[in-house]
Amino acid sequence: MSVVLLVVEQDENPMKFIPTIRKNTNFGLSEIKKRIGNGIPILEIDLFKDEEDDAKLKHLINELINIHANIRLFDGEVVENKEVSVEYLMNRFHRYEEIQRQNQELDDLMYGED
């Protein structure tokens, strides 16, 4: 499993991102401002460990993209060579879901449907 870190880049008006971030995290206003201003991740998720966390990450990414936030995703740590694209992450989600579906089909064939 890998840890995905979501960073929102500083913008001319970071206030427009705060309601979306606040709705999806437990951070207060000052903490969100600090994290955006300092390039600190606003969300850290262990990928594929918890379906709710995965859904939360996908939802937040989509909401931030819809309000034109510049986001950066990192695999494990916030360093340049660990950055991954949104497309790459979404492909990983899709592939994981496909594997889960295939595993379920195999289980159904081997053990019968319950």
Quickly state the pLDDT bin for 113 (edges 50, 70, 90): low
Residue 35 lies inside a defined structural domain of this protein: yes
The pLDDT mean for the chain works out to 91
* Total domains in the fold of the chain: 1
Average pLDDT of span 20-40: 94
Domain span holding position 38: 3-85
**CA–centroid distance for 14 within its chain:** 19
- Distance separating alpha carbons of residues 77 and 22, to the nearest angstrom: 22
Q: How confident is the model at residue 35 (pLDDT cuts 50, 70, 90)?
A: very high
Say which CATH number the domain at 22 has.
3.30.1390.10
- In sequence order, what are the beta bridge partners of 6? 43, 73
**78: alpha, beta or left? (left if phi > 0; alpha if psi -120 to 50):** beta
pTM: 0.82
